[in-house]
Structure 1
């Protein structure tokens, strides 16, 4: 009869109705009193996830054995209900039922998932008391628990207690060292495991290790791991391949990631697609990301929130606005708009679009019911990037008054807004808040402090912040300090810092070279700047970008070497973008090269007819040269095309209050008094000037 019931249970696993019917049949026939039968029903209910039915049956059982207790405990830990599992475990011990290796290992699994080291240590003491520390299953569970709680020394000690090690215990220990990013020990363990002939390395061995290889410096090591995977015949294990796709992308080789992805064929799962999509987005291969996403839709792969966060991060710039709006519509259709991570990705996407889209980002933010720190930080960053620094500061105040704690990104965004507004007093207050919240030495906050103090003209305080940073390998902080000195005209100090970066093996990036080329430009270090530009690819293995060429053009333009700047632009491997051309136009105007400036301006008007910069530059140039007719033609063209000059704004901080104004601004309520004071000061300066000139003439006559 047990065989018949077992057969019925097996056939009912795909249907809860069939399971219930079989349960009723067992009750009617009186078989449910048999502990073996009840345990089978317990296990089946747990597999369906019906904890209530399972617990009701458990309570009704007249006789329970260790299997009964272990089944229910395992069900609760699998569902993340550790407190209920712990209560049952305590009741099991009090009932006098034998606690065995299965009891310990199943409970430890739940403790590991919840990272409750306090409970884990209590179980460990019971394990030792009962003499199970050498048991391979219990020992492996202890290793896994300590590893997931980032107590790798204890995990190693538990590992050494196991009498007969197997692949599970080795994998658990390796995963623990992976979690704390101890690459050296993790790969040493892999080598030691490989020497054990009786052990089999599998996807549980390699998949965690691959997550460590997330930087171009690990590319060669990644290729060695890939070779080992091929040698062991594990190249079609989906978990290994998915991890390898992410690792190759993180190491900078998207082509290798795509090769692994394509090699999976029909074995690809959703994680494979999402990993490849994220790889394309991370390396700004936007068109490839869009094609892959469309292919996903055509193959009817069931996407998830990670799919949308990945593809939305690839949408930036005006050229992708239509596609981004379509994705937003798809998100709404899928019912994912109120998922915080997806909505945050949408906010970030709209921030990258032209200024008008900021309203869409703000509307999304306000409609989001469950806002997290990323939501707040995204909107503050957006305001800051769009030059709406006052709005960013208002949002920072709102964030502080909410229940959410400000993090390093929030402080960084606020400090960068202070830098843009040049509000030193407000910046100092936020500095104090960051110190109070123990974020002062965070590399991002420190970099923002350096930027704020530099832009507020207090370069000494910026240097103090830089010298206090705990991680001297923070590229961001070094770059900001180099740029700070550059903006203060201390080019030689910037060059000295650059040399220190090289000597201390600080990772250089494209921002480093933008900063150092700017330093050379502001200090007239022509030869040094050109040598750095020419050595970027050959010596430092960094491909020059448009901003580097723009900085070099500015360097030559400031020195009056317009023809050399023109030669540099013509030697560029690709066509110059508007940023380079605008820089060159400014150089031509400064040097009075009217013919060359006109040619550049005409080209800019063709590719950016709606940008006011070119019209204004031409107008000022014609005004300087007293070419009134040409100036009138430029103004007429602006009017016909509907282009308006964007006024420049200035800010002044008085008694902790920021005031914004532009040329001939009369919006301030005290404008009459302000202009009256300006007139008085102007007359006083004119009087002082005439008085000084008279004194000089008298001195000369004497």
Structure 2
């Protein structure tokens, strides 16, 4: 062997930074006839396998699988590399391959294979590895036993085995105590977790945080708060656990108070609060907090951006949503399925379908059923119903299988366009072609479709023939159609069903009053309004939002809390007067005064 060439290759491997350079080193090895040197090949594989770049790891595979009789070091290297590159299933395959070649695993092999079993929740494989650990004499190795304990703690129905491993460990360190505590918390056994926590000779940040988080996640917020207060030291994870617990329990006020008291907030803290506000419909607060997060220069994660985009979609905050899209592009954030779908949904709900289409097209072939569905629903919602149906056809052609939500979008598109025949076809196609069972929402879409088309009697029969019990929303959809179509007889029949289901719903009385008014039955209108008054039912005021200069303004009917309410009402009066003038004009389309 040319020792000089070998030394040169080893030095080159230490400086390699790309796949091209790695291939050049291998070419040099072949050229100088040292490519059969197992030590050099092992170093080549080690560098490639332990790279976190998928292309370089793929190259290590090519080299490894061409080696005849690879040794245990090479197998350990590839197993470890499989975990680094998020392919735990290959680590398990390599383990069984080395066993098939009569190689005995060692204390480096077992921890990585057990981590792969943990990632894949492969309990059966983990048990086989456990048996091999005992047979090969590693049953007392602390590091091997700790990873074995972790594996059992994570997999379902295996805490008895985890406890046995823990109890038989000759030396128990902080990590092992943390593992058994976390395992019991994961399985919802707070009693056992508390017992082990109380008996732990040394309580670390991890165990304290696990207990606080465990109690909080299971809704035991008072116990979580007590442990939090008892903690000798608290880090960001401690505060975040309790904040998340309050949010999960629906106590957003306490979560907000705790967040404000935090000495040092990290991105998890900000994201938890932003998502918490979103969860309970406080969309304005989500956006306000996001802007504060930007001011203190905390870089948002993908989860943060998803929450803020959802808030923008619900508020119609197009300017803010567009700014976030620009931020994503400027900072090189990959637009994966989740972010892409959130952007499509945001633009669609804000009425900018052209931008939604741009995002959709630029996603290429990464789109899944959720992305397609967001696009179909967005088009239908914005009146581009024919396009929505065309997108559905394209989706099927590309081999993406629609789900129940997709069909809701398709049926809505048919309803808004009056396509009764097509809507019926799609409704029947759900069960016939895709084995999907229609839910009550799909039946509601069909009732809406028939009602909009004026087929009220057919819609009524459709409701009566439903295999599931119709709710007040189904009957309410037909009721609204009665007002549009001025069908008093059907409306009165529907009202009887609605009175049984939801007798205090003021909207039903208002709709019935409107049906009578449309047909000139003013005595009946007066009678319905008297019933409303006698019952003490008042109409809920309407509400709307508009975004101006990145600020969302909310308006409620008859409310005067807005700082510029006087000007707003003056403008409304002016517009009303002008509309009255236009209404009295002939079709000459004279300009407004």
Structure-1-length-normalised TM-score: 0.59
Q: Which residue number in structure 2 is paired with residue 619 of structure 1?
A: 509
Q: Which has the higher contact order (CA 8 A, sep 6+)?
A: 2
Distance 1:153 1:631 in 2: 75
Asked if residue 398 in structure 1 is aligned to residue 292 in structure 2, the reply is yes
Distance 2:527 2:233 in 1: 55
CA displacement at 1:391 relative to structure 2: 2.3
CA 1:516–1:228: 2 relative to 1, 3 Å: farther
CA displacement at 1:516 relative to structure 2: 4.3
Q: Which residue number in structure 1 is paired with residue 467 of structure 2?
A: 571
Distance 1:337 1:489 in 2: 57
Q: Which residue number in structure 2 is paired with residue 305 of structure 1?
A: 209
CA displacement at 1:448 relative to structure 2: 2.7
Asked if residue 179 in structure 1 is aligned to residue 84 in structure 2, the reply is yes
Asked if residue 325 in structure 1 is aligned to residue 221 in structure 2, the reply is yes
Tell me the SS of whatever aligns to 1:370: coil
CA 1:154–1:571: 2 relative to 1, 3 Å: closer
Asked if residue 209 in structure 1 is aligned to residue 116 in structure 2, the reply is yes
Q: Which residue number in structure 1 is paired with residue 339 of structure 2?
A: 445
After superposition, residues 29-428 of structure 1 pair within 5 angstroms as 143=46, 147=50, 152=57, 167=72, 169-182=74-87, 186=91, 189-190=94-95, 192-200=97-105, 203-204=110-111, 206-210=113-117, 213=120, 226=124, 233=131, 239=147, 243=151, 257-258=156-157, 260-261=158-159, 266-267=164-165, 271=179, 274=182, 278=186, 292-296=188-192, 300=196, 305-306=209-210, 308-309=212-213, 312-313=216-217, 323-332=219-228, 335=231, 338-341=234-237, 343-351=239-247, 357-428=251-322
Tell me the SS of whatever aligns to 2:332: coil
CA 1:160–1:433: 2 relative to 1, 3 Å: closer
CA displacement at 1:378 relative to structure 2: 2.4
CA displacement at 1:402 relative to structure 2: 0.7
After superposition, residues 514-593 of structure 1 pair within 5 angstroms as 514-524=408-418, 560=456, 562-563=459-460, 566-567=463-464, 571-572=467-468, 581-591=472-482, 593=491
Deviations 1:83-136 (A, max 9, x none): xxxxxxxxxxxxxxxxxxxxxxxxxxxx9xxxx99xxx9xxxxxx9xx9x9899
Gaps (5+ residues) in structure 2? 1-13, 23-28, 135-143, 167-175, 199-206, 483-489, 517-523
Deviations 1:198-231 (A, max 9, x none): 33497446434335648xxxxxxx6xx8379559
Cα contact 2:343–2:359 (8 A) shared by 1: yes
After superposition, residues 576-655 of structure 1 pair within 5 angstroms as 581-591=472-482, 593-604=491-502, 615-624=505-514, 625=516, 626-634=524-532, 637=535, 647-654=541-548
Cα contact 2:228–2:242 (8 A) shared by 1: no
CA 1:208–1:232: 2 relative to 1, 3 Å: closer
Tell me the SS of whatever aligns to 1:379: helix
CA displacement at 1:444 relative to structure 2: 3.4
Distance 1:306 1:277 in 2: 8
CA 1:409–1:184: 2 relative to 1, 3 Å: closer
Cα contact 2:278–2:286 (8 A) shared by 1: yes
Distance 1:308 1:526 in 2: 56
Indicate the RMSD between aligned Cα atoms, in angstroms: 5.0
Distance 1:512 1:348 in 2: 32
CA displacement at 1:338 relative to structure 2: 4.6
Distance 1:583 1:636 in 2: 27
Cα contact 1:177–1:186 (8 A) shared by 2: yes
Distance 1:437 1:412 in 2: 15
Asked if residue 685 in structure 1 is aligned to residue 579 in structure 2, the reply is yes
Q: Which residue number in structure 2 is paired with residue 45 of structure 1?
A: none
Distance 1:532 1:342 in 2: 51
Cα contact 2:416–2:449 (8 A) shared by 1: yes
Q: Which residue number in structure 1 is paired with residue 384 of structure 2?
A: 490
Q: Which residue number in structure 2 is paired with residue 472 of structure 1?
A: 366
CA 1:343–1:205: 2 relative to 1, 3 Å: closer
CA displacement at 1:373 relative to structure 2: 1.5
CA displacement at 1:380 relative to structure 2: 1.9
CA displacement at 1:458 relative to structure 2: 1.7
CA displacement at 1:379 relative to structure 2: 1.9
CA 1:391–1:301: 2 relative to 1, 3 Å: closer
Distance 1:425 1:200 in 2: 59
Distance 1:337 1:550 in 2: 55
Gaps (5+ residues) in structure 1? 1-110, 122-127, 215-221, 248-256, 279-288, 316-322, 606-613, 696-702
